[in-house]
Each structure stands twice: as C-alpha cells, then as structure tokens.
Amino acid sequence: MKMSFRFTLMALATLLAVALLAGCAGNAAPEVAEAPAAEANVIKQIKDAGVIRIAVPEDTPLFGIVGADGTHEGYDVDVARLLAEDMGVELELVPVTSANRIPYLTSGKVDLVISSMGIKPERAEVINFSNAYAPFFWAVFAPADIDVTSVEDAFAYTVGAPMGTLEEIAYSDAAGADATNIQRFDDQATTVQAFLTGQVDLIVTGNAIAAGIIADHPEMNVETKFVLQQSPCHVGVRRGDDGLLTWVNAFIYSHTLNGDLDQFSTKWFGEPLPDFPNY
C-alpha cells in the first residue's frame, strides 16, 4: 500500500514536471513575433484600405507647394510618396495649413502629418512625434568668400534680417543690445532683395528661404555660415497609434542610412541633412 502511494506521488510529480516543461516551451516567443493587435490595428487598416492619407503643406516653398502643372511638389511631398511606396499602398495627399494640420490628425481625417512641423511642448500634449526627418533652422548666410563663423565675426559686416521674426530675435539676442551692424527690414522679401543687391553682406533667415537664394543665384555662391537655432521637422502621429509611430521611425532611420533623405535635402535645400538632435 505504501509502495503504491509512493508510486502515485512519483508519477504525479513526473507529469507535473513534463507539463511545466511543455508550458515553458509553448510560451517561447518566435524570433519574429506578430505585433500586438492594438498596435498593428492601424497599419492593418491602412493596408486593408489600400491607401494612406497624409497631410502636406501646399503654401510652404520647398516643403510643399502646388506646381505650375497643378501637382503637389516639395520635400514633404517626396517623403510622403516614398513612405506610401514603402508601405505598399496608394497615397492620398491632403493639403493642410499650420492651423488645421493637428485637428485633421486628431479627428481622423488623415493618418499622418508630414507638413514641416516642429516639436513644441503644447503640441506634444495632443499628438506624438516621430524622429526628425527634415532640416529646418535659422542661420546666417553669406557668399563663400566671406569668412564668418560666429556672431563676433559678423560684427565686421552688415547683417540683414526681417524685423520681428524669430530668426531676427535669435540673432539680436546672440549679438547683444549694443550690436549696431544689424539692418532690420519690414518683411522677408525686402530683406532678401537687400542681400541680393549688396545693401547687406550677410542675411539672417531660415534654410528654406536661403535654399531659394542658392538655387536662383548660383553665381553668389551662398552658404551657411553658422546656425542660430535648429528646429527640425517631425512627422505627426495620432496618440495611440504606437505601432504606426514605430513604423515611421523605422522608415526614417532606414532612409537616412541609405541616403534617400540626404538626396531629398540636397534636391530641395541645396545642402545635405544636418546632424539632428536626439528626440
């Protein structure tokens, strides 16, 4: 009787050990597991629909405008097209303004926002942002033969800036209240004209405006002298679409590595991508 009871206990222990081993083996994750259903849902919805809706600008030179033939063109448009191609779906471009691009995303009118949008804390309270994909910065520009690498160097020259703009404020703050070499103009166009006609030696502006000058006036050999402030652009992703955010970051990473985004930057802004700060 005792032997029978001991045998029964040993048999149960053996069965329990086998069950535990089987359970551990059954729970082992495969090398490439499927994404959790909640994360994969939005990507699956996009692929099932066969189209991704991306908000782009149509009134921001170099980033997004409507060309003479009526089609959208610009850096952001090129990125949107490449993204849709990688995802294997058709692209629906949705023109937006600075004011409505976030509401379009949060309301579900678009799946992503690729519209020269920088990160601000108040925006991050509403939507998520990808890693940086496009350059935007305020800097001092001048012909290559002018040797300037700092605000102190610029004191020897006349600097033009559009009055009251963020770039003018950034330069004025860096130069200090005693700087007398700054000429402030009423608007961006007047500032550019003053630079082109030699009224000022250096111009303070954004890289998009400078790219237009570089493209239209190659004889001036204009280049970036020093950057005042970086404000790179990020893709806007709806809160909760974590799987899509991960996918977009992988897209940006891979096309930074293979040089595609660098080619877009050189095509539209006349310069390769800068080193972006981490986000």
> Where residue 148 sits, what CATH number does that domain have?
3.40.190.10
Distance CA 235, CA 116 (A): 8
- Residues 237, 220, single domain; the answer is no
pLDDT of residue 8: 43
pLDDT of residue 111: 98
- Residues 225, 151, single domain; the answer is yes
pLDDT of residue 230: 85
Between vectors from CA 276 to CA 236 and to CA 269, what angle results, nearest 5°? 85
pLDDT of residue 3: 44
**Alpha-carbon torsion (213, 214, 216, 220), positive or negative:** positive
- Residues 68, 91, single domain; the answer is yes
pLDDT of residue 105: 97
Give me the number of domains the chain comprises. 2
**67 in a structural domain:** yes
Domain extent at residue 94: 37-136+232-269
**275 in a structural domain:** no
- Residues 150, 198, single domain; the answer is yes
- Residues 88, 126, single domain; the answer is yes
**278 in a structural domain:** no
- Residues 69, 185, single domain; the answer is no
- Residues 153, 110, single domain; the answer is no
- Residues 50, 87, single domain; the answer is yes
pLDDT of residue 77: 98
- Residues 126, 183, single domain; the answer is no
pLDDT of residue 177: 79
pTM, two decimals, is 0.73
pLDDT of residue 60: 84
**In this structure, are residues 85 and 144 in contact, taking their beta carbons and an 8 Å threshold?**
no
**66 in a structural domain:** yes
pLDDT of residue 123: 93
- Residues 161, 224, single domain; the answer is yes
- Residues 203, 264, single domain; the answer is no
Distance CA 44, CA 221 (A): 48
For residue 273, give the nearest of 117, 133, 77, 118 by alpha carbon.
Answer: 133
**In this structure, are residues 118 and 231 in contact, taking their beta carbons and an 8 Å threshold?**
yes
pLDDT per position in the chain (279 positions), as tens? 444 444 443 443 443 343 333 333 334 444 444 444 444 489 999 999 999 999 999 988 899 999 889 999 999 999 999 999 999 999 999 999 888 999 999 999 999 999 999 998 999 999 999 999 999 989 999 999 999 999 999 999 999 999 988 889 899 999 987 788 999 999 888 999 999 999 999 999 988 889 889 989 999 999 999 999 888 999 999 999 999 999 999 999 999 999 999 999 999 988 888 888 777
- Residues 46, 125, single domain; the answer is yes
